[in-house]
Amino acid sequence: MSANDIQYLRSKLAQYPDFPKKGILFEDILPIFRDPKAFQILIDSLVSLIKEKFENVDVIVGLEARGFLFAPTLALALGCSFVPVRKPSKLPGEVVEVSYKKEYETDSFAMQKDSIKPGQRIVVIDDILATGGTALAADQLIEKLDGKLLGHVFLMELDFLKARDRLQAPTYNLLNGQAEAPEGSEWA
Ligand SMILES: O=P(O)(O)OC[C@H]1O[C@H](OP(=O)(O)OP(=O)(O)O)[C@H](O)[C@@H]1O
Ligand SMILES: Nc1ncnc2[nH]cnc12
């Protein structure tokens, strides 16, 4: 991704102080999707990043709700499956479920038991890494289904919350720099 592309995507982000609660600076990614040029840059950049960092990806897992805005398009561009992680009571059939805490509330997440096969190679996609509670919950669900977690890709990361230290798998983001797996972890 060129510096111009990064700049273009960053110019589409909007900040809202004290939303949804006092003290939270909310980062809004929705303007990206109002502009087809920005959306195309986003998908092309994510495809390049994933091809560069991960091998033989079978499944892109997207997290409700904002991950759903671009993870299916990305999966299609990569020729992978798309599998959703959803909020509770939304998925039919047998599910696995976990509760988690995020920057401004608690919630729970579920996946359909037959949505991934044991050993499938998985990259988890979401818009923002804040405390990491959401991403860790997705990791737990993938582990319960015996998927092979390759790593996480975010559009952006709230560095000051230091969530990267909580995530074990390699974690990348498009808009504010990249880092490798923690030293000593199985992915390092
Ligand atoms: O790292 P964390 O502290 O867990 O926070 C990050 C999560 O918070 C937001 O989702 P949220 O559930 O608020 O909203 P959404 O349903 O609009 O995606 C965001 O889209 C991430 O999924
Ligand atoms: N500050 C923030 N802005 C947007 N989404 C978020 N999810 C968690 N924290 C967030």
- Tell me if 187 is assigned to some domain: no
- Tell me if 21 is assigned to some domain: yes
Answer yes or no: is pLDDT of 25 > 70.
yes
* 126 close to ligand 2 (CB < 6 Angstrom): no
Crossing angle for the helix pair 71-78 and 36-53, to the nearest 10 degrees: 60
Give the number of C-alpha atoms closer than 13 A to the C-alpha of residue 86, restricted to the C-beta side: 14
Show the tokens assigned to 98: 């976990």
Q: What is the pTM of this model?
A: 0.93
- Tell me if 112 is assigned to some domain: yes
- The enclosing domain of 89 has a CATH number of 3.40.50.2020
Q: How far is the CA of 26 from the centre of ligand 2 (A)?
A: 5
Q: What's the CA dihedral at 171, 175, 178, 182 to 10 degrees?
A: -30
- Tell me if 182 is assigned to some domain: no
Q: Which domain holds residue 120?
A: 3-177
Collapsed DSSP state (helix, strand, coil) of residue 149 = strand
Q: How far is the CA of 145 from the centre of ligand 1 (A)?
A: 22
Domain count, the chain: 1
Q: Which residue has the higher pLDDT, 178 or 17?
A: 17
- Tell me if 17 is assigned to some domain: yes
Catalytic residues: 66, 103
Tell me, what's the pLDDT at 160? 87
Give the pLDDT confidence of 34-81 residue by residue, as tens digits: 999 999 999 999 999 999 999 999 999 999 999 999 999 999 999 999
- Tell me if 77 is assigned to some domain: yes
* 26 close to ligand 2 (CB < 6 Angstrom): yes
Percent of residues, the chain, with pLDDT higher than 70: 94
